[in-house]
Protein backbone atom coordinates (compact mmCIF):
# COMPACT_ATOMS: atom_id res chain seq x y z
CA UNK A 1 0.00 0.00 0.00
CA UNK A 2 1.48 3.28 -1.04
CA UNK A 3 1.43 6.42 1.22
CA UNK A 4 -1.00 8.08 -1.15
CA UNK A 5 -3.60 5.41 -0.36
CA UNK A 6 -3.99 6.36 3.33
CA UNK A 7 -2.90 10.02 3.31
CA UNK A 8 -5.79 12.53 2.94
CA UNK A 9 -6.15 14.40 -0.29
CA UNK A 10 -5.12 17.99 0.54
CA UNK A 11 -6.73 19.26 -2.65
CA UNK A 12 -10.16 18.03 -1.54
CA UNK A 13 -12.38 20.96 -0.31
CA UNK A 14 -13.47 19.18 2.88
CA UNK A 15 -9.85 18.35 3.74
CA UNK A 16 -8.79 21.95 3.31
CA UNK A 17 -11.78 23.08 5.36
CA UNK A 18 -10.84 20.68 8.17
CA UNK A 19 -7.23 21.91 8.11
CA UNK A 20 -8.40 25.51 8.29
CA UNK A 21 -10.57 24.71 11.32
CA UNK A 22 -7.68 22.91 13.06
CA UNK A 23 -5.32 25.81 12.37
CA UNK A 24 -7.89 28.29 13.63
CA UNK A 25 -8.34 26.39 16.90
CA UNK A 26 -4.57 26.11 17.30
CA UNK A 27 -4.16 29.85 16.76
CA UNK A 28 -6.93 30.42 19.31
CA UNK A 29 -5.03 28.33 21.83
CA UNK A 30 -1.81 30.30 21.22
CA UNK A 31 -3.65 33.61 21.50
CA UNK A 32 -5.23 32.40 24.73
CA UNK A 33 -1.82 31.68 26.28
CA UNK A 34 -0.38 35.00 25.14
CA UNK A 35 -3.40 36.93 26.41
CA UNK A 36 -3.27 35.19 29.79
CA UNK A 37 0.40 36.09 30.16
CA UNK A 38 -0.28 39.74 29.32
CA UNK A 39 -3.30 39.91 31.60
CA UNK A 40 -1.34 38.42 34.52
CA UNK A 41 1.32 41.08 34.14
CA UNK A 42 -1.35 43.76 33.98
CA UNK A 43 -3.08 42.38 37.08
CA UNK A 44 0.11 42.59 39.15
CA UNK A 45 0.34 46.33 38.58
CA UNK A 46 -3.40 47.10 38.77
CA UNK A 47 -5.27 45.37 41.63
CA UNK A 48 -8.67 46.61 40.42
CA UNK A 49 -7.95 45.25 36.95
CA UNK A 50 -7.16 41.86 38.49
CA UNK A 51 -10.71 41.58 39.77
CA UNK A 52 -12.13 42.42 36.35
CA UNK A 53 -9.81 39.92 34.63
CA UNK A 54 -10.75 37.14 37.04
CA UNK A 55 -14.48 37.56 36.37
CA UNK A 56 -14.12 38.06 32.62
CA UNK A 57 -11.84 35.04 32.14
CA UNK A 58 -14.62 32.53 31.39
CA UNK A 59 -16.27 34.48 28.52
CA UNK A 60 -12.84 35.19 27.03
CA UNK A 61 -12.22 31.43 26.94
CA UNK A 62 -15.33 31.07 24.80
CA UNK A 63 -14.85 34.16 22.62
CA UNK A 64 -11.41 33.31 21.21
CA UNK A 65 -12.18 29.90 19.63
CA UNK A 66 -15.57 31.13 18.38
CA UNK A 67 -13.96 34.14 16.72
CA UNK A 68 -11.31 31.98 15.06
CA UNK A 69 -13.96 29.53 13.85
CA UNK A 70 -15.86 32.39 12.23
CA UNK A 71 -12.67 33.42 10.43
CA UNK A 72 -12.17 29.81 9.37
CA UNK A 73 -15.66 29.67 7.88
CA UNK A 74 -14.99 32.88 5.98
CA UNK A 75 -11.79 31.41 4.52
CA UNK A 76 -13.33 28.03 3.68
CA UNK A 77 -13.67 26.88 0.05
CA UNK A 78 -16.98 27.54 -1.66
CA UNK A 79 -18.38 23.99 -1.58
CA UNK A 80 -17.98 23.27 2.18
CA UNK A 81 -18.94 26.81 3.02
CA UNK A 82 -22.32 26.33 1.37
CA UNK A 83 -22.88 23.11 3.30
CA UNK A 84 -21.97 24.51 6.70
CA UNK A 85 -23.94 27.74 6.56
CA UNK A 86 -26.12 26.54 9.42
CA UNK A 87 -23.07 25.72 11.55
CA UNK A 88 -21.54 29.12 10.78
CA UNK A 89 -24.75 30.85 11.83
CA UNK A 90 -24.80 28.83 15.06
CA UNK A 91 -21.19 29.78 15.81
CA UNK A 92 -22.01 33.43 15.07
CA UNK A 93 -24.89 33.37 17.53
CA UNK A 94 -22.61 31.78 20.09
CA UNK A 95 -20.01 34.49 19.54
CA UNK A 96 -22.62 37.24 20.02
CA UNK A 97 -23.81 35.61 23.25
CA UNK A 98 -20.22 35.24 24.44
CA UNK A 99 -19.59 38.93 23.78
CA UNK A 100 -22.76 39.79 25.71
CA UNK A 101 -21.63 37.55 28.56
CA UNK A 102 -18.20 39.21 28.50
CA UNK A 103 -19.69 42.72 28.68
CA UNK A 104 -22.01 41.76 31.55
CA UNK A 105 -19.17 40.16 33.51
CA UNK A 106 -16.96 43.23 32.98
CA UNK A 107 -19.68 45.50 34.38
CA UNK A 108 -20.22 43.12 37.31
CA UNK A 109 -16.48 42.97 37.97
CA UNK A 110 -16.21 46.76 37.94
CA UNK A 111 -19.07 46.97 40.43
CA UNK A 112 -17.43 44.40 42.71
CA UNK A 113 -14.04 46.13 42.47
CA UNK A 114 -15.51 49.49 43.47
CA UNK A 115 -17.26 47.85 46.43
CA UNK A 116 -14.02 46.13 47.48
CA UNK A 117 -11.81 49.20 47.33
CA UNK A 118 -14.45 51.53 48.82
CA UNK A 119 -15.83 49.70 51.88
CA UNK A 120 -18.81 51.18 53.71
CA UNK A 121 -18.05 49.60 57.10
CA UNK A 122 -16.21 52.76 58.15
CA UNK A 123 -17.37 55.60 60.36
CA UNK A 124 -16.92 58.24 57.66
CA UNK A 125 -18.24 56.36 54.63
CA UNK A 126 -20.08 59.09 52.73
CA UNK A 127 -17.76 59.00 49.69
CA UNK A 128 -17.79 55.19 49.60
CA UNK A 129 -21.58 55.05 49.75
CA UNK A 130 -21.83 57.64 46.98
CA UNK A 131 -19.49 55.67 44.69
CA UNK A 132 -21.10 52.32 45.43
CA UNK A 133 -24.57 53.66 44.76
CA UNK A 134 -23.60 55.23 41.44
CA UNK A 135 -21.70 52.17 40.22
CA UNK A 136 -24.32 49.69 41.41
CA UNK A 137 -27.34 51.45 39.90
CA UNK A 138 -25.61 52.37 36.65
CA UNK A 139 -24.10 48.88 36.48
CA UNK A 140 -27.45 47.13 36.86
CA UNK A 141 -28.98 49.41 34.24
CA UNK A 142 -26.06 48.77 31.89
CA UNK A 143 -26.42 45.00 32.35
CA UNK A 144 -30.09 45.14 31.39
CA UNK A 145 -29.32 47.22 28.30
CA UNK A 146 -26.43 44.93 27.29
CA UNK A 147 -28.59 41.81 27.57
CA UNK A 148 -31.41 43.44 25.58
CA UNK A 149 -28.94 44.57 22.90
CA UNK A 150 -27.39 41.09 22.72
CA UNK A 151 -30.79 39.44 22.31
CA UNK A 152 -31.75 42.00 19.65
CA UNK A 153 -28.54 41.35 17.68
CA UNK A 154 -29.07 37.58 17.87
CA UNK A 155 -32.65 37.88 16.63
CA UNK A 156 -31.54 40.11 13.77
CA UNK A 157 -29.34 37.29 12.47
CA UNK A 158 -32.48 35.31 11.57
CA UNK A 159 -33.99 36.47 8.25
CA UNK A 160 -37.52 35.59 9.37
CA UNK A 161 -37.23 37.82 12.39
CA UNK A 162 -35.98 40.70 10.27
CA UNK A 163 -38.98 40.36 7.95
CA UNK A 164 -41.32 40.12 10.91
CA UNK A 165 -39.78 43.30 12.31
CA UNK A 166 -40.25 45.10 9.01
CA UNK A 167 -43.93 44.08 8.89
CA UNK A 168 -44.39 45.30 12.43
CA UNK A 169 -42.91 48.68 11.56
CA UNK A 170 -45.57 49.10 8.88
CA UNK A 171 -48.29 49.04 11.55
CA UNK A 172 -46.33 50.39 14.47
CA UNK A 173 -48.79 53.13 15.46
CA UNK A 174 -51.25 51.25 17.67
CA UNK A 175 -48.80 48.48 18.50
CA UNK A 176 -46.19 50.96 19.60
CA UNK A 177 -48.70 52.67 21.86
CA UNK A 178 -49.71 49.34 23.42
CA UNK A 179 -46.10 48.26 23.95
CA UNK A 180 -45.27 51.63 25.44
CA UNK A 181 -48.11 51.38 27.94
CA UNK A 182 -47.18 47.81 28.84
CA UNK A 183 -43.51 48.68 29.30
CA UNK A 184 -44.17 51.86 31.27
CA UNK A 185 -43.30 50.35 34.69
CA UNK A 186 -40.07 48.82 33.37
CA UNK A 187 -38.98 51.96 31.53
CA UNK A 188 -40.05 54.13 34.47
CA UNK A 189 -37.88 52.13 36.85
CA UNK A 190 -34.92 52.27 34.45
CA UNK A 191 -35.24 56.05 34.17
CA UNK A 192 -35.70 56.33 37.94
CA UNK A 193 -32.55 54.25 38.40
CA UNK A 194 -30.59 56.66 36.21
CA UNK A 195 -31.95 59.61 38.20
CA UNK A 196 -31.04 57.99 41.51
CA UNK A 197 -27.54 57.19 40.28
CA UNK A 198 -26.92 60.75 39.11
CA UNK A 199 -28.74 62.83 41.74
CA UNK A 200 -28.46 60.30 44.60
CA UNK A 201 -31.45 61.04 46.84
CA UNK A 202 -30.55 57.71 48.45
CA UNK A 203 -27.32 55.75 48.69
CA UNK A 204 -26.25 52.33 49.91
CA UNK A 205 -26.39 52.19 53.75
CA UNK A 206 -28.41 55.41 54.00
CA UNK A 207 -30.75 55.62 56.99
CA UNK A 208 -34.25 56.36 55.69
CA UNK A 209 -37.84 56.48 56.92
CA UNK A 210 -40.18 55.06 54.28
CA UNK A 211 -43.89 54.55 54.90
CA UNK A 212 -43.28 55.27 58.58
CA UNK A 213 -40.60 52.56 58.90
CA UNK A 214 -37.01 53.24 60.02
CA UNK A 215 -34.35 51.30 58.17
CA UNK A 216 -31.16 51.24 56.12
CA UNK A 217 -30.82 50.98 52.35
CA UNK A 218 -29.40 47.49 51.95
CA UNK A 219 -29.52 46.99 48.18
CA UNK A 220 -30.38 49.00 45.07
CA UNK A 221 -31.25 46.99 41.97
CA UNK A 222 -32.39 48.09 38.53
CA UNK A 223 -36.07 47.96 39.55
CA UNK A 224 -36.39 48.13 43.36
CA UNK A 225 -34.68 49.08 46.61
CA UNK A 226 -34.32 46.77 49.62
CA UNK A 227 -34.65 48.61 52.94
CA UNK A 228 -33.53 46.65 56.02
CA UNK A 229 -35.94 47.53 58.84
CA UNK A 230 -34.58 47.78 62.39
CA UNK A 231 -36.41 44.60 63.48
CA UNK A 232 -34.74 42.57 60.66
CA UNK A 233 -37.67 42.80 58.25
CA UNK A 234 -37.06 43.81 54.65
CA UNK A 235 -39.15 46.38 52.78
CA UNK A 236 -39.09 46.14 48.97
CA UNK A 237 -39.72 49.57 47.44
CA UNK A 238 -39.88 50.34 43.67
CA UNK A 239 -37.28 52.78 42.42
CA UNK A 240 -39.96 55.18 41.23
CA UNK A 241 -41.19 55.60 44.82
CA UNK A 242 -38.07 57.58 45.75
CA UNK A 243 -38.60 59.91 42.79
CA UNK A 244 -42.35 60.44 43.16
CA UNK A 245 -42.92 60.38 46.95
CA UNK A 246 -41.38 62.28 49.88
CA UNK A 247 -39.30 60.32 52.39
CA UNK A 248 -36.77 61.04 55.12
CA UNK A 249 -33.03 60.50 54.59
CA UNK A 250 -31.11 60.86 57.85
CA UNK A 251 -27.67 60.47 56.24
CA UNK A 252 -28.04 62.56 53.09
CA UNK A 253 -24.97 64.73 53.75
CA UNK A 254 -23.58 63.22 56.94
CA UNK A 255 -24.30 60.39 59.36
CA UNK A 256 -24.11 62.79 62.34
CA UNK A 257 -27.48 63.32 63.97
CA UNK A 258 -29.14 65.05 66.93
CA UNK A 259 -31.34 63.14 69.33
CA UNK A 260 -33.88 64.56 71.79
CA UNK A 261 -35.31 63.22 75.04
CA UNK A 262 -38.59 64.75 76.28
CA UNK A 263 -39.57 64.45 79.96
CA UNK A 264 -42.26 65.98 82.15
CA UNK A 265 -41.40 67.28 85.65
CA UNK A 266 -42.97 69.42 88.34
CA UNK A 267 -42.40 73.18 88.21
CA UNK A 268 -40.42 73.05 91.45
CA UNK A 269 -37.60 70.91 90.05
CA UNK A 270 -34.29 72.89 89.89
CA UNK A 271 -32.76 72.70 86.41
CA UNK A 272 -29.07 73.25 87.19
CA UNK A 273 -28.60 69.88 88.96
CA UNK A 274 -30.43 68.24 86.05
CA UNK A 275 -28.07 69.90 83.55
CA UNK A 276 -25.07 68.73 85.59
CA UNK A 277 -26.43 65.18 85.57
CA UNK A 278 -26.98 65.35 81.80
CA UNK A 279 -23.37 66.44 81.33
CA UNK A 280 -22.17 63.57 83.50
CA UNK A 281 -24.27 61.04 81.57
CA UNK A 282 -23.04 62.29 78.18
CA UNK A 283 -19.37 62.28 79.15
CA UNK A 284 -19.72 58.74 80.46
CA UNK A 285 -21.46 57.49 77.30
CA UNK A 286 -19.23 56.37 74.36
CA UNK A 287 -22.11 57.12 71.98
CA UNK A 288 -21.86 60.88 72.53
CA UNK A 289 -19.62 62.62 69.99
CA UNK A 290 -19.03 65.79 72.04
CA UNK A 291 -20.73 68.22 69.64
CA UNK A 292 -24.10 69.08 71.21
CA UNK A 293 -25.46 68.77 74.74
CA UNK A 294 -28.21 70.92 76.16
CA UNK A 295 -31.26 70.94 78.41
CA UNK A 296 -34.20 73.34 77.99
CA UNK A 297 -37.81 73.74 79.04
CA UNK A 298 -39.69 73.53 75.75
CA UNK A 299 -43.32 73.27 76.87
CA UNK A 300 -45.57 73.57 79.91
CA UNK A 301 -49.20 73.17 80.95
CA UNK A 302 -51.24 73.71 84.12
CA UNK A 303 -49.67 70.67 85.82
CA UNK A 304 -45.98 70.31 84.77
CA UNK A 305 -43.20 71.52 82.51
CA UNK A 306 -41.66 69.60 79.60
CA UNK A 307 -37.86 69.37 79.57
CA UNK A 308 -35.92 68.49 76.43
CA UNK A 309 -32.41 67.04 76.55
CA UNK A 310 -30.64 67.47 73.20
CA UNK A 311 -27.58 65.29 72.48
CA UNK A 312 -25.53 64.42 69.39
CA UNK A 313 -24.04 61.22 68.01
CA UNK A 314 -22.08 60.09 64.98
CA UNK A 315 -24.93 57.99 63.56
CA UNK A 316 -28.57 57.12 64.14
CA UNK A 317 -27.89 53.79 65.82
CA UNK A 318 -25.68 55.36 68.48
CA UNK A 319 -28.17 58.21 68.84
CA UNK A 320 -30.95 55.79 69.76
CA UNK A 321 -28.77 54.11 72.40
CA UNK A 322 -27.65 57.47 73.79
CA UNK A 323 -31.22 58.76 74.04
CA UNK A 324 -32.23 55.66 76.00
CA UNK A 325 -29.29 56.11 78.39
CA UNK A 326 -30.07 59.80 78.94
CA UNK A 327 -33.78 59.13 79.49
CA UNK A 328 -33.13 56.35 82.02
CA UNK A 329 -30.37 58.32 83.78
CA UNK A 330 -32.38 61.53 84.20
CA UNK A 331 -35.45 59.70 85.49
CA UNK A 332 -33.33 57.75 87.98
CA UNK A 333 -31.60 60.96 89.10
CA UNK A 334 -34.89 62.79 89.76
CA UNK A 335 -36.38 59.80 91.57
CA UNK A 336 -33.33 59.63 93.83
CA UNK A 337 -32.53 63.30 94.44
CA UNK A 338 -35.89 65.06 93.90
CA UNK A 339 -38.67 62.47 94.26
CA UNK A 340 -41.21 65.12 95.21
CA UNK A 341 -40.94 66.82 91.82
CA UNK A 342 -42.04 63.93 89.66
CA UNK A 343 -45.23 64.65 87.70
CA UNK A 344 -48.37 64.14 89.74
CA UNK A 345 -52.01 65.13 89.66
CA UNK A 346 -53.17 67.77 92.15
CA UNK A 347 -56.75 68.47 93.24
CA UNK A 348 -58.23 71.23 95.34
CA UNK A 349 -60.34 69.95 98.25
CA UNK A 350 -63.06 72.35 99.58
CA UNK A 351 -62.54 73.67 103.13
CA UNK A 352 -65.69 71.90 104.40
CA UNK A 353 -64.37 68.52 103.28
CA UNK A 354 -61.01 69.20 104.94
CA UNK A 355 -62.69 70.04 108.25
CA UNK A 356 -64.83 66.91 108.00
CA UNK A 357 -61.79 64.76 107.33
CA UNK A 358 -59.95 66.27 110.33
CA UNK A 359 -62.93 65.69 112.61
CA UNK A 360 -63.19 62.07 111.54
CA UNK A 361 -59.47 61.40 112.02
CA UNK A 362 -58.50 59.59 115.30
CA UNK A 363 -56.14 62.37 116.31
Q: From 140, 144, 130, 145, select the one nearest 110 (Cα to Cα).
A: 140
Query: Long-range pairs for 41-47 at CB < 8 Å and ≥24 separation?
Result: 47/117
Q: Is the pLDDT of residue 261 over 50?
A: yes
- Write out pLDDT tens, residues 164-210: 544 544 444 444 444 444 455 666 667 777 777 777 888 888 889 99
Q: How confident is the model at residue 135, as a pLDDT?
A: 80
User: How many Cβ atoms from other residues are within 10 Å of residue 184's Cβ?
Assistant: 10
Most confident option among 63-72, 81-90, 116-125, 168-177: 63-72
Domain extent listing, the chain: 12-117, 257-341
Q: Which CATH number fits domain 257-341: 3.30.70.100, 3.90.1170.20, 3.30.70.20, 3.40.640.10?
A: 3.30.70.100
Q: Yes or no: say if 157 and 89 are a contact pair by the CB < 8 Å rule.
A: yes
Amino acid sequence: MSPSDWMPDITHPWTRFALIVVVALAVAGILRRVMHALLRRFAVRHPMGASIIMRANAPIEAMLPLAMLLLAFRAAPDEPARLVDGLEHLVGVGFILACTWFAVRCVSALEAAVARFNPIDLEDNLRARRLQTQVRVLGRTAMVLIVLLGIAVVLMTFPGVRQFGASLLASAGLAGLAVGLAAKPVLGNLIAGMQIALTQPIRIDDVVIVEGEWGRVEEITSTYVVVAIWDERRMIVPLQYFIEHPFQNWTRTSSQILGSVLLWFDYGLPLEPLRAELERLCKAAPEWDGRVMGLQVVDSDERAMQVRALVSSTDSGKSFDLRCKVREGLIAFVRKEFPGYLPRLRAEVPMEERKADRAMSPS
